[in-house]
Amino acid sequence: MSQHQELIQLQAQAENELADARDEKQLEAWRIKWLGRKGLVPAAVKQIGSLPKEERAAYGQAVNRLKQAVQAAFEARRQQLREDAMAAELYAEGFDPTLPGRRPQIGRLHPSSATMREIAHIFAHMGFEVYTARDVETDEYNFQLLNFPKGHPAREMQDTFHTTVPDVLLRTHTSPGQIRVMRERYPEPIRVILPGKCYRYEQVTARSEMMFHQVEGLVVGKNITFADLKGTLQAFVDQLFGEGRQLRFRASHFPFTEPSAEVDVDCILCGGKGCRVCKYTGWLEILGCGMVHPNVLRNGGYDPEEWSGYAFGMGPERIAMLLHGVDDIRYFFSNDVRFLEQF
């Protein structure tokens, strides 16, 4: 057998044995046998020295080719085995991506807070500061200074929780804050919203609560008009419900504003076509508003000959009910987690 044939045979044998190496350990054993310092391939290389001179060049080339081929085969095999091992590890366990994940416990805002925050945010962009006033009030601040004299028929519109202290009551609206902020800020112009809890002596039903929130707005300045009120509310509604809402201002009566209006927005559910929520009118009542009554300005310390102002009020629960399709106001303060978890 020629030396060439021997080398070819040697290479074939090396490659056959390499194919049988199925893990790192077998591969290492193969390496020592073939490529190790005393391995078969170095041994074949060493044979050059024992050959006649004229054969050395040809043999040298052949044995070098052999060495490179075996080396390359080894590297390829090693890479292959690594990938096989990684794959075996990666796919060792069954994997079901539809199993539920590990969820962090998440918290949420109460929907009334979230709605109030949104309202406050929109008004903040228009320069309205948040002013907070007290819940337990005097008859004077809740009624008299707001132009509801004792015995006035408009008081009937607001059934009141009285306390055992004479003339101390739970505020029926956030409006007493109007007097408080005016008395505190005079003679500055005012632009505030007054968020807070209000209370009415009313049987609790799906539509009426004994406690609810209001957000009231008050602007007082030397140049404030009903047209400004309309512009402000349109800007607010466009931001809260989306651009292009229609507003409808209906004449109404509140003792502390004159003129007074109730404000409807075109039904966000049916777009004005008529549905159960808007009672087939196409309109949803969302706000009460008006120009601050001269008596109220005066009670706040502002001369109505010089100053004017507007006020508006809305119920975050009412708005949240419209936005989220809630049909029972009692959910808000029963704090049933099955309700709260949905926001």
Applying CB under 8 A, the span of 23-31, 73-81, 171-179, 331-339 interacting with other proteins comes to 331-339
Residue count, binding to Zn ion (CB under 5 A):
5
Applying CB under 8 A, the span of 26-34, 42-50, 52-60, 107-115 interacting with other proteins comes to 107-115
Q: CA 141 to CA 298: how far, in whole Å?
A: 13
Q: CA 284 to CA 215: how far, in whole Å?
A: 18
The interface with other proteins within residues 30-69 (CB under 8 A) comprises none
Among 119, 179, 190, 326, binds other proteins (CB under 8 A): 190
Which one-letter amino acid corresponds to residue 105? Q
Instruction: Tell me which residue of 217, 236, 234, 183 sits closest to 292, measured CA to CA.
Output: 217
For position 275 contacting Zn ion by CB under 5 A, the verdict is yes
* Chosen from other proteins, Zn ion, none, partner binding at 267 (C-beta under 5 to 8 Å by type): Zn ion
Q: Which is nearer to other proteins, 60 or 231 (CB)?
A: 231
For position 183 contacting other proteins by CB under 8 A, the verdict is no
Q: CA 266 to CA 285: how far, in whole Å?
A: 9
For position 323 contacting Zn ion by CB under 5 A, the verdict is no
Q: Which is nearer to Zn ion, 45 or 277 (CB)?
A: 277
For position 267 contacting Zn ion by CB under 5 A, the verdict is yes
For position 230 contacting other proteins by CB under 8 A, the verdict is yes
Among 20, 54, 93, 156, binds other proteins (CB under 8 A): 156
Q: Are strands 211-221 and 190-199 parallel, antiparallel or unpaired?
A: antiparallel
For position 6 contacting other proteins by CB under 8 A, the verdict is no
CA dist list (Å): 311 to 39, 139, 181, 227, 283: 98, 20, 13, 13, 22
Handedness of CA 293, 245, 234, 112 (dihedral sign): positive
Identify the three-state secondary structure at position 251: strand
Encoding tokens for residue 236? Answer: 């607010």
CB of 108 to other proteins, least distance (A): 6
Applying CB under 8 A, the span of 8-16, 21-29, 52-60, 277-285 interacting with other proteins comes to 277-285
For position 322 contacting Zn ion by CB under 5 A, the verdict is no
Instruction: Tell me which residue of 218, 196, 197 sits closest to 126, measured CA to CA.
Output: 218
The interface with other proteins within residues 287-306 (CB under 8 A) comprises 291, 293-294, 304
* Chosen from Zn ion, other proteins, none, partner binding at 269 (C-beta under 5 to 8 Å by type): Zn ion
Contact 60, 52 (CB under 8 A): no
Q: CA 67 to CA 35: how far, in whole Å?
A: 8
Instruction: Tell me which residue of 295, 314, 315, 261 sits closest to 143, measured CA to CA.
Output: 295
Identify the three-state secondary structure at position 256: coil
Applying CB under 8 A, the span of 24-32, 69-77, 79-87, 130-138 interacting with other proteins comes to 130-138
Give the residues lining the site for Zn ion (CB under 5 A). 267, 269-270, 275, 278
